[in-house]
Amino acid sequence: MTDERETNPSVAGNGPGEVPVERDSHLTALLSRWDEPQVPPGLDARVLAAYRDEVQRVPLWKQLLTFKVPIPLPVAVAALVLLLISATIALRQGLDPVPDVPQVAGSGKDTQTARGLDAPVVTQTSLAGFEPVNDVNVLVVAEAPTRR
């Protein structure tokens, strides 16, 4: 069994089961007479130089600052939730400081101290019978260093 392309050169097909296509004799003759033009010397260098002029190389420091790492969405969400939880815990610990040094107020003779209470105290007050003081003496005491 012989291939039809071998016996009849005017018929060309791409593979078994495909419809053969007749060759154009005029086109075949034209292609056999045609000589492709020679590549001018230095064309590769000129194309490469033009490409480098168009596409500027990004400096290494800028590449490092704009480096992208693809992270799957579930991993990014889990990291964000963990960051929010740890920030909330850190802020709550920072907002509830334990008073180490009592505050001192009063004149030089009789000193009164006030310490922070464990539970908040709610008092009912009334300004009935209030009289402002005539003489105010304030003593400022340097704060002792806090221990942590």
Residue 112 in domain: no
Q: Is 0.85 surpassed by the pTM of this model?
A: no
Confidence check: pLDDT of 4 > 60: no
Residue 2 in domain: no
Please tell me which of 19-28, 61-70, 98-107 the model is most confident about, judged by mean pLDDT.
Answer: 61-70
What's the domain count of the chain? 1
Residue 10 in domain: no
Domain encompassing residue 70 = 43-94
Residue 108 in domain: no
Sign, CA torsion 76/82/84/86? negative
Residue 120 in domain: no
Residue 81 in domain: yes
Query: Which of 44, 50, 146 shows the shortest CA–CA distance to 102?
Result: 146
Q: Distance between CA 127 and CA 109 in Å, rounded?
A: 28
pLDDT tens digits, 104-126: 555 555 655 666 656 666 777 88
Confidence check: pLDDT of 80 > 70: yes
Query: Which of 101, 96, 98, 95 shows the shortest CA–CA distance to 143?
Result: 101
Residue 63 in domain: yes
Confidence check: pLDDT of 91 > 70: yes
Segment 34-41 mean pLDDT: 87
